[in-house]
Chains A and B, each alone.
Chain A
Amino acid sequence: MGAFQWLMKRITKIFGHSTNGLFYTLLYREILKEVNEITNNEEESLIILREIGKKAALESCERHSNIFKFMPGNPKKVLDYFEVLWVVVFGRELDEYNYEEIHKEGSKYNDYVLKISKCPICAGYGDNIEDTFEFNKLNDNKSEGLACGLCGMLESVANYILKIKRNDYRIQIIEQDCITKGGNCLQFICKIHDYNEWKELMASNIQQKKVLKKFFKESIEEEEIVQETKLDIFDKLQDFISIDKLDEYLNEPLETIKDKVRDFIKDKLNMDPEHFFDYFRNYEDDMIRIIGYLGTHLLNEYGGLLEKFLKNEWFAKIFGYIFKQLKEMTLLFIPLDVIRDYNELLVNFLKGLAPIEMVENVKKFTGKDTITYIFEGAQIALENLGIDFSELKENVWEELKAERENGLVSSETSTIDRTREKVPQIISIIQQFLMIINDILTLPIRVLISESHYGLKTAINSVISEEEGLYGSIRERFDNIFDQIQEIRK
């Protein structure tokens, strides 16, 4: 699984409210039954259920639009990331599935058929007397199956991503085979249409439009693509940094990344890199602070997750303590050679991009200076994002003690118990973060050694395997952190 898929799956699972899978499936069944109470027509009910799925997913997408800004904006890639779409919509892993690409003559994109061997929506349908929606009453063989609502959700999310990425293609997802209806698997066909084709397709579906108008009492039209003229810096950055390209970046050597930075500065800022960096000449310390500041804000721009995370008072405090500890411990425990490696990495990065005089000035910084400036910049950014450093105690243990003594936590037994239950998870999160920091500290020397020959990925992985290397180790630790956060959120 690529880094992007892994990251998206973990993030969406953490920030969604999850319930038991059976409750989800039964609620879905009940919605269909209620729709059928209104329509008294099974075929019309499935059309309405699909529309309910579409509307429900669109509402979610609009509420969390920032997350989708960093999803891939190419229709084929959206389908490549179907597994992620499934997790976004359904909140659970896609168990076993396979793809088939069907060549479409004269079209830019082919059709895709997806076969999913296990469908949670169909699970056990017909085993209980409350399963009263009768699929045998369906006469139209073009009717979809039980997962049509889910299909509507998937289609809505896929098209929302394309819309927000200003792509003028749209994806149509149709349920072709349904286990409840007697099929062997859940089968979707995904067709990619250009926007005009899509509009024609929507207009030609008279039966569907009639049903939707009859019951929703409104005509349901896809809104026109409005090409936004005002692009913010992060819209521009998406062309350069996109989390779906994480794997690509990891495969590229430092020189290639420098080339990309050079091209980016030229294309987007219309400046020569040397001219750009010249602005910071004699203010190199501020430039390094800005790296810390912007780095932190850039992290937050991936869906505003950091800011959302820090809105929670507890998480903000935990993060604040980790940051404080990191700031103090870095200089105490990390060998100066390691810090020098980092400095050398920065100097190597600036060589060829920045004026020689500036590179010479940066060379004069000790490793300690560089680290201090980066932390100063990052701290300002974290204050902007919600950590009140002035309120933090000397260390996390005093914080835990104080919370219990000063009566901030409710005296109700269950609340105290719940708070206590969370302490092991909080400690575990702190531990995992500290281990990640240790892992990362070994990175620069690897990068320096491998930069001229191999990609960053070589530096990040061990000679044994990706799973056992630094990348695998960091990913495992983040998996643990995500698990602990999920536990706390329960």
Chain B
Amino acid sequence: MNFSRKELIETDATMNQMRNAVYVLVRLMEKNKIQNSKERLRKMGQNIARTYINYWKPTEVVTLANLKDVITTIYQKILNSTVSIEINEVDKLLNVQDYRCALCKYHYDDLEIAGCEVLLGLVSEYVTLISNESSESSSVFLEPYEIVESRAYGNKKCLQVFKYKIRKEG
């Protein structure tokens, strides 16, 4: 009897080679003239979230009150990363700083895409899926915005930015 996906949640796997594999894939996309590789990476993250949520859910409701905690939990439980989060209520942006990003470690001169685009898709989709299932009027929805800084660009940390909206505000 093989492992189940639920069992895999209890295990750890070293990311070194898989992290490199993401960048080999990006090079492959570029060589094959894939125009929207950034969106493709985000889509990968969204697909991961759609499968993952069948086996683990950090909470039933996401509102502005617990948004930081939910995001921190997702980063910690799935990616083994400790992040710091800031909410910009004026522009409705959520800034996540990750000094140990699971998908970015080295600076690649030949690439202009950071591996953590995948995480932008993963985290935003996770929160959105939870909120879709919730009837709470102040549920928060996230969308990928941009990777402002990345270790893959030569920065010291990754700064992932999400756009959020609240259900009752439409």
Contacts and interface: CB of A to CB of B under 8 A. Distances in A.
Residue from A27, A31, A35 having most chain B Cβ neighbours under 10 A: A27
Given A31-B25, A89-B17, A22 B5 contact: yes
A90 to B, nearest CB: 6
Interface in B1-15: 1-15
A153 interface: yes
A414 B15 contact: no
B54 interface: yes
Closest 9 CB pairs of A and B: A91-B14, A16-B14, A21-B11, A124-B5, A56-B20, A24-B13, A30-B44, A123-B3, A56-B21
B123 to A, nearest CB: 12
Contacts of A55: 20-21, 24
B163 interface: no
Residue from B8, B10, B19 having most chain A Cβ neighbours under 10 A: B8
Interface of B: 1-22, 24-25, 28-29, 31-32, 34, 40, 44, 47-48, 50-52, 54-56, 77-80, 82, 84, 100, 102, 105-106, 118
B14 A123 contact: no
Contact of B28 (A35, A124, A490): A35
Contacts of A153: 17
Interface stretch (A114-122, A240-248, A465-473): A114-122
Interface in A16-61: 16-28, 30-31, 33-35, 37-38, 48, 52-53, 55-57, 59-60
A216 B22 contact: no
Contact of B16 (A34, A60, A124, A130): A60
B127 to A, nearest CB: 16
A12 B17 CA distance: 12
A141 interface: no
Nearest to B26: A34
Contact of B19 (A17, A52, A119, A128): A17
Contact of B2 (A19, A119, A149, A414): A119
A490 B2 contact: no
Contacts of A415: 84
Contacts of A127: 5
Contact of B13 (A90, A122, A179): A90
B20 A59 contact: yes
Interface residues of A, number: 58
Contacts of A142: none
Residue from B10, B32, B56 having most chain A Cβ neighbours under 10 A: B32
Given A38-B28, A118-B2, A31 B21 contact: yes
Given A19-B80, A21-B8, A23-B48, A13 B14 contact: yes
B102 A34 contact: no
A91 B28 CA distance: 25
A258 to B, nearest CB: 40
21 contacts: A19-B79, A19-B80, A22-B56, A23-B102, A26-B48, A27-B22, A27-B48, A35-B25, A38-B28, A52-B28, A53-B17, A57-B20, A63-B106, A91-B16, A118-B2, A120-B8, A122-B2, A123-B4, A124-B4, A215-B32, A490-B82
Interface of A: 12-13, 16-28, 30-31, 33-35, 37-38, 48, 52-53, 55-57, 59-60, 63, 89-92, 117-120, 122-124, 127-131, 149, 153, 179, 215-217, 412, 414-415, 418, 490
B80 A91 contact: no
A129 B15 CA distance: 25
A90 B14 contact: yes
A48 B3 contact: no
Residue from A21, A119, A153, A490 having most chain B Cβ neighbours under 10 A: A21
A38 B29 contact: yes
B146 to A, nearest CB: 21
A25 B100 CA distance: 20
Given A22-B8, A89-B17, A123-B5, A414 B50 contact: no
Contacts of B52: 22-23, 26
Contacts of B34: 37-38
A378 B28 CA distance: 49
Contacts of A22: 5, 8-9, 11, 52, 55-56, 78
Nearest to B10: A21
